[in-house]
Structure 1
Amino acid sequence: MAQRFHDVESFPDELKGGVVAIGNFDGVHRGHQAVLARATEASQALGVSAVVLTFEPHPRTVFRPEQPVFRLTPAPMKAAILGQLGFDAVVEQPFDKAFSAQSAEEFVTAILCNQLGVRHVFTGYDFHFGKGREGNPDFLMKAGDRHGFDVTLIEQFQDENAEVVSSSRIRAALALGDVAEAAGLLGYRYAISSEVLHGKKLGRTLGYPTANMSLPPETTLLPGIYAVRFRKADGTVYDGVASFGRRPTVDDDNAALVLETVLFDFSGDLYGETCTVSFVSRLRGEEKFDGLDELVAQMKIDEAEARAVLGHLTPLSPLDRAMTFEPAG
């Protein structure tokens, strides 16, 4: 598990002098993983720490607060994924307009050299930093020469169709409910982690008790019914079917979006636990039924379809195995 540090000032001396991958890495998708894999390989070859320097909140949200970014991987999930990929630490540097106003040379000297003691930097080919984005790849390469650290720039990663893999492309797929497309770009099933909350407990009376979760309002996942994998806080995994939306049969059209998951073959109390839902397949859109009897009949159909989908599920990658399947051993 990667250690999390909420600013560079708290970064410990024993981890300094390592390989540092720099970027937002929202989603930690296959393109990001190409950068990150090169960084961990270099750290192992040098026998030094592997560190990610990222920024919180997402810079786009700072500059456009009226349009907050739909985060594919909020900070805790991002750190967990980076730990699975072999990183020792994640530095979540606070990002605000004052931080963005520092010069590129100040970023290099204060952050990379003085605080992190960087030995080798890995980042994307289009990384810009500092006031007015004056720090470009050429600037970073020359700064490395001046300060004594290496720089490796990674080119865009393209999928099997020669299209660039990007966080915005994944968000677009999720907005269409295409969780299979998103999984192909991420290299693992799209997942959310959240605390299980008390709901109206209507599902319990219908014979389908649900684990209710609240998602951020900027989430643009298409409402509907999904076949999912549900991971409890202790790592235990269950198959399930989840409804994301406004529950049109029992609530009005202005109700808040909620994620309700029915766990198969489970009984127990999950309230207060932070659990993870991995989205495998979208079964259908939301529907408004004439009554609860029709709703329950459809829920039985959804359960059968979800069990069929999940019964033959195989990992997409080692990362997907770690996130979506039973823990090894």
Structure 2
Amino acid sequence: MGDVQRWTDLTEIPDDLSGSVVTLGNFDGVHRGHRAVLAQVVDRAREEGVPAVAVTFEPHPLAVLYPERAPELIASLDQRLDLLESVGLDAVLVMEFTRELATWSPERFVEDVFVTALHARAVVVGQDTRFGARNSGDVATLCELGEQFGFDVEALSDQGDADGGAPRRWSSSQVRRLLDEGDVGAAAQVLGRAHAVSGVVVHGEHRGREIGYPTANLAQDSDGLVPADGVYAGWLLRPALPEGHTDHLLPAAISVGTNPTFDGVRRTVEAYVLDRTDLDLYGERVAVEFLEHLRPMLRFDSVEELVEQMRLDVDQARDLTTARRAERTGR
């Protein structure tokens, strides 16, 4: 079908859509469990010769129904859509989640969305999928409705093989907990890739440049869940540059926190691109990928002590990114 289509309303779905293979979920973070379901959607769609479609919601249903219980999202909507597109889907339907939509019965949701709008031939979901008013619909409900309306249902386990072969459950809440703990390495194991925060590079206090480590500071409205305060090894990506460009993927030492040595109060994400002082990234939208946690955020008694520790951080980040570059780039 060419480029991935993004629909934000049922009326945007083409009238001549003759069929589809569909999945449903919030897909926050698009972790390995999500990817297993999405891969099956794409495979089944290719077999059927119809588009592979994911249906998701914005905002998160809990943010509408129970704001006090709503999770901090791992990825923004734009990040989520990019990740969904990366798995080979042909289209993504983003339904605005409202209190009115929350009243739809499972039967109405399936008939209006899967049957009438998307002409689903098959629906592929995780075993714990719930939908409809008060989450009253489950896989058994979906199977009954599939028999009624003539589509197949595939329910996949939400467990996968972890490193070493032992099965484990992948979940977005697990990723959030690990990021809150600063364990970006373990979070990457669940996600199947390094976690990233993206945003526009803005001017900071320019202290890094003054002490020999100029940093790219992300704007406060950056996308993606910011991990715990600390120093990390990782990458700075420049998505506007084509893949293979020498400055597309840059090894970095990343700082998250308030800069306590300088009595800072604003929490920031800033990345020092290793051994580069010639970059002008202001105004550019970049992504910062977190590879490994190096140390907690500390307050130093002097700038000299800070600079010495930063030198050690940079050495460690250089070693880690050098060792992992082939794994990150696939070459």
TM-score w.r.t. structure 2 length? 0.89
Taking the aligned partners of 1:300 and 1:171, their CA distance within structure 2 comes to 30
Structure 1 Cα separation of the partners of residues 71 and 212 of structure 2 = 37
User: Residue 201 of structure 2 contacts residue 216 of structure 2 at CA under 8 Å; is this kept in 1?
Assistant: yes
Moved more, 214-223 or 3-12: 214-223
Partners of 1:270 and 1:14 in 2: how far apart? Answer: 45
Pick from 7, 10, 22 the counterpart of residue 8 of structure 1.
10
Task: Summarize deviations over 1:260-297 as a string: whole Å, max 9, x none.
Answer: 11112442322222211111011100011122222222
Specify the alignment match of 2:272 in structure 1: 262
2:287 aligned partner: 276
CA distance in 2, matches of 1:250, 1:222: 19
Is the 8 Å Cα contact of residues 5 and 90 (structure 2) preserved in structure 1?
yes
Specify the alignment match of 2:316 in structure 1: 305
Instruction: Tell me, in whole angstroms, the C-alpha distance in 2 between the residues paired with 1:15 and 1:206.
Output: 59
Asked if residue 249 in structure 1 is aligned to residue 261 in structure 2, the reply is yes
* CA gap 1:51/1:107 in 2 versus in 1, 3 angstroms: same
> Any idea what the Cα deviations from partners look like across 1:29-58, whole Å, max 9, x if unmatched?
111111111111001111111111111111
- Mark the runs of 5 or more structure 2 residues left unpaired by the alignment: 242-247
Residue 292 (structure 1) aligns with: 303
Query: How far apart are the structure 2 equivalents of 1:291 and 1:15?
Result: 66
CA change 1:220–1:65 in 2 (3 A) is farther
Root-mean-square deviation (Å): 2.2
Which shows bigger deviation, 65-74 or 287-296?
65-74
Distance of aligned partners of 1:16 and 1:68 in 2 relative to their CA distance in 1, 3 Å threshold = farther
Aligned-partner Cα distance in 1 for 2:91–2:326: 26
Tell me what 1:204 maps to.
209
Task: Pick closer, same or farther for the CA change 1:16–1:196 going to 2, 3 Å.
Answer: farther
State the secondary structure of the residue aligned to 1:62: helix
Q: Distance in 2 between matches of 1:12 and 1:274?
A: 33
Q: 1:231 to 1:217 in 2, by over 3 A?
A: closer
Question: CA separation of 1:149/1:19 partners in 2, compared to 1, >3 Å: closer, same or farther?
Answer: same
After superposition, the C-alpha distances for 1:223-276 in whole angstroms (9 at most, x for unaligned) are 100001110132411000000111111134xx2321011112442322222211
- Structure 1 residues 7 and 292, CA, compared in 2 at 3 Å: closer, same or farther? farther
Matching of residue 164 in structure 1 with residue 174 in structure 2: no
Structure 1 gap segments, 5+ residues each? none
**TM-score normalised by L of structure 1:** 0.90
Could you tell me how far 1:148 is from its partner in structure 2?
1.8
1:77 is matched with: 79
Counterparts of 2:40 and 2:63, CA distance in 1: 29
Deviation at residue 15 of structure 1 after TM alignment: 5.1
The CA deviation at 1:217 is 11
Identity of aligned residues (%): 36
Question: How has the CA–CA distance of structure 1 residues 105 and 273 changed in structure 2, closer, same or farther, with 3 Å as cutoff?
Answer: same
Structure 2 vs 1, CA of residues 289 and 142 (structure 1 numbering), >3 Å: closer, same or farther? Answer: same
When structure 1 is superposed on structure 2, of 43-52 and 4-13 the one drifting more is 4-13
Tell me how far 1:314 sits from its aligned partner: 5.1
Give runs of aligned pairs for residues 143-182 of structure 1, distance below 5 A. Answer: 143-158=145-160, 159=162, 160-182=165-187
Of 113-122 and 222-231, the range deviating more from structure 2: 113-122
CA distance 1:14–1:315, shift in 2 (3 Å): farther
AA matched with 1:229: W
8 Å contact kept, 1:2–1:82: no
Deviation at 1:22, TM superposition (A): 0.9
Distance in 2 between the 1:166 and 1:201 partners?
39
- The structural deviation recorded for 1:103 is 1.4
CA contact (8 A) 1:119 1:149 kept: yes
* Structure 2 equivalent of residue 221 of structure 1: 227
Aligned counterpart, 2:245: none
Deviating beyond 6 angstroms after TM superposition, the runs of 4 or more aligned structure 1 residues are: none
For 1:234 and 1:165, how far apart are their aligned partners in 2?
31
Contact 1:102/1:130 (<8 A) preserved: yes
Match of 2:249 among 227, 232, 237: 237
Matched, 1:193 2:198: yes
Per the alignment, in what secondary structure is the counterpart of residue 293 of structure 1?
helix
